[in-house]
Amino acid sequence: MHVHKDDMVIVKAGNNLGKEGKVLKVFPNTQRVIVEGVNIIKRHTKPSQRNPQGGVVQKEASIHASNVMVKCPKCSTATRIGHRLISDVVSGHKKGMRLCRNCGEMF
């Protein structure tokens, strides 16, 4: 998946178009992500030991990963993600890095 946990993303489609937030959780099997402050739903809960008051709780619901794009930390724009193998000088092992398709910044 092109989105990882703790990535800053911009919503590019749906009711929350244009909102930005941090990815809290990723579900690779269903291609869905939970983004902080995006797709807020109201959940009616009964009183329990964990929540003795009960009532209406607001929380983030998941959205499809195709509706978000990663925000580049350098150029601050929504970007597609490229991949490049970089060899470590000390150990000689190759490591996969993600890069911005707009400015070429690796992250």
The answer to whether residues 31 and 3 belong to one domain is yes
Burial class of residue 26 (count of CB atoms within 10 Å of its CB; 0-12, 13-18, 19+):
middle
pLDDT per residue, tens digit, the chain (107 aa), is 899 999 999 999 999 999 999 999 999 999 999 999 999 999 999 999 998 999 999 999 999 999 999 999 999 999 999 999 999 888 889 989 999 999 989 98
The answer to whether residues 24 and 63 belong to one domain is yes
Report the distance separating Cα 104 and Cα 106, nearest Å. Answer: 6
The answer to whether residues 5 and 39 belong to one domain is yes
Please count the structural domains in the chain. 2
